[in-house]
Amino acid sequence: DSKTKIKMLQEFYLKLNDTDLSIHGIGEGDEATLLEQAAIMNRSFASLPKDHQEIIADITKKMGAGMAEFVEVDMGQGTVRTADYDKYCYYVAGLVGEGLSRLFSASGLESPSVGKLTGLSISMGSFLQKVNIIRDYLEDFVEGRTFWPQEIWKKHMGNLGDMRDPAKEEASLACLNEMVFDALRHIPDCMEYLGGIHHPDVFFFCAMPQVMAVATLAKLYNNPKVFTGVVKVRKGTAAFLMEHSTTMPKVRGLFSNYIQVIQSKVKHTPERKAVLTRALEAIHDDKLEMPNMSGITYVALFALAGSLSYLIGKNGFVLPPLTAAF
């Protein structure tokens, strides 16, 4: 029941030191397996330096307490206020950003100052979570646990499920676009945070999801497919973005490209123009390296060639040399 769930969430951090922990009957698939084999995770946790354990336990405690606040809230029609939506994103993703920043510093990979970038860390995590929530509208609605705030969607229609109605597409897209712009508010913080990261591996670890997120936002904006399925970045594009998420100039270039993609679709209002302007200013156009997006085509072709080679090998087909075609 909900009371048991709340208690488990609030006290889960206390179980991190139980190296025999096994929890049954909760979740499905991999989630259930993880809880059943929690002892493996806890033994790994016990092998970490003490200061790392303290950071993880602290974040787990805060996250559990925060998630417990939403257990008895009816989420069938989303959160009521945008502030509640922000709070949820903080608990489930912003705190992850805070914890990672503290671990980067505690490990010595980054300077102590990175661990103190609490606000920026939280904003980074919240940005990723908001992109996921926007993208997963249909899946979440069907499962009865939506997060789109009523404060936004009730401006456009009477029921969150009506977004799926083709007859209401114009209003649905207006709501979707407002959600996208709410997420775009975080980009200046993301740029500032990434600009303070110096270790190459830490930078890639942080930058790659952010680049994927802004690319996803560009696909989500004004896209009616959000209400009928899942909109995703193509695999070839994802591979290209990963390859180019290695330095700040390259990341700035990718962000600039996708912000401009959104900008090209926007019917400008003063408020939206201000959001885009702040995002582009934070990217620093004078310090970016614009990607050659045509490279995505070559990545896609190599992926196709690899797939064909696999199928040919599996089925025993033999192709003539390419020169035979000329």
Q: Is the pLDDT of residue 300 over 70?
A: no
Give the CA count within 13 Å in the CB-facing half-sphere of 8: 10
65-79, 143-157, 289-303: which range is least confident on average?
Answer: 289-303
Q: What is the 3-state secondary structure (H, E, C) of 126-181?
A: HHHHHHHHHHCHHHHHHCCCCCCCHHHHCCCCCCHHHHHCHHHHHHHHHHHHHHHH
Catalytic residue selected from 45, 91, 127, 135: 135
Known catalytic residue at 135: yes
**String of DSSP letters for 57-85:** HHHHHHHHHHHHTTTTS--TT--SSHHHH
Name the DSSP letter for residue 26: S
> What digits encode the pLDDT tens for the residues 85-116?
999 999 999 999 999 999 999 999 999 999 99
Residue 296 in any domain: the answer is yes
User: In whole angstroms, how far apart are CA 249 and each of 104, 194, 282, 288, 295?
Assistant: 22, 11, 12, 4, 17
Question: Is residue 180 one of the residues assigned to a domain?
Answer: yes
* Percent over 70 (pLDDT), the chain: 87
Give the CATH number, domain containing residue 233: 1.10.600.10
Say if 154 falls within a structural domain.
Answer: yes
pLDDT interval class at 151 (50, 70, 90): very high
Average the pLDDT over 61-81 and give the result: 95
Query: CA 236: distance to chain centroid?
Result: 19
Q: Catalytic residue among 45, 70, 85, 88, which?
A: 88
Residue 252 bears catalytic tag: no
Q: How far apart are CA 48 and CA 42, in angstroms?
A: 10
**C-alpha to C-alpha distance for 97 and 86, rounded to whole angstroms:** 14
- Does residue 134 lie within any of the structural domains? yes
Average pLDDT score, the chain:
89
Residue 221 inside a domain? The answer is yes
Catalytic residue chosen out of the listed positions 145, 185, 234, 278: 145
Domain count, the chain: 1
Query: CB under 8 Å to 83, separation ≥6 — which residues?
Result: none
Catalytic residue among 164, 185, 204, 205: 205
Active-site annotation holds for 145: yes
Say which residue the tokens 């914890």 belong to. 99
Q: Is residue 47 part of a domain?
A: no
The model's pTM is 0.86
Quote the domain boundaries for residue 196.
Answer: 73-325
